[in-house]
Amino acid sequence: MQQIVLHLWFDTQAVEAARWYVSIFDHSRITRISSLEGTPSGRVDTVAFELEGVPFSAISAGPYFTLNSSVSLMVTCRSPEEVDRLYASLSQGATERMPLGEYPFSKRYVWLADRFGVNWQLTCFETDNITQKIRPNLLFAGDVCGKVTDALAFYQRVFPDSSLGYVNYYRPGEAEDARARVNYGELTLPGCQFVLMDHGAGGDETFNEAFSFMVLCPDQAQIDAYWQALSAVPEAEQCGWLKDRFGVSWQIVPADMADVLASLNGDAKKRYTEAFLQMKKLNIAALREAIR
Q: Does 223 lie in the same domain as 257?
A: yes
Residues paired with residue 163 on neighbouring β-strands, in sequence order? 188
Q: What is the per-residue pLDDT for 2?
A: 54
pLDDT-above-90 percentage for the chain:
91
Q: Does 155 lie in the same domain as 128?
A: yes
Give helix then strand counts, H and E, for the chain. Answer: 7, 15
Q: Does 139 lie in the same domain as 54?
A: no
**Which strands form 3-10's sheet, in the order they lie side by side?**
29-39, 42-51, 54-60, 3-10, 211-217, 249-254, 241-243
Q: Does 105 lie in the same domain as 85?
A: yes
| CATH number assigned to the domain comprising residue 253 | 3.10.180.10
Residue 25 in domain:
yes
| CATH number assigned to the domain comprising residue 129 | 3.30.720.110
Chain-centre distance of CA 171, in angstroms? 29
Residue 207 in domain:
no
Q: Report pLDDT digits (tens) over 203-225.
A: 999 999 999 999 999 999 999 99
Q: What is the per-residue pLDDT for 1?
A: 46
Q: Report pLDDT digits (tens) over 148-176.
A: 999 999 999 999 999 999 999 999 999 99
Q: What is the per-residue pLDDT for 251?
A: 98
Domain stop point among 198, 230, 246: 198
Domain count, the chain: 3
Q: Does 191 lie in the same domain as 78?
A: yes
Q: What is the per-residue pLDDT for 127?
A: 73
Average pLDDT over all residues of the chain: 95
Q: Does 95 lie in the same domain as 52?
A: no
Q: Does 194 lie in the same domain as 76?
A: yes
How far is residue 264 from each of residues 35, 187, 220, 259, 269, measured CA to CA in Å?
A: 12, 37, 21, 9, 5
Q: Report pLDDT digits (tens) over 23-59.
A: 999 999 999 999 988 888 889 999 999 999 999 999 9
Q: Does 216 lie in the same domain as 187?
A: no
Residue 98 has pLDDT above 60, yes or no: yes
Closest residue by Cα to residue 251 from 226, 285, 219, 268: 226
Domain stop point among 45, 63, 81: 63
Domain that holds residue 288: 212-292
Q: What is the per-residue pLDDT for 41?
A: 85
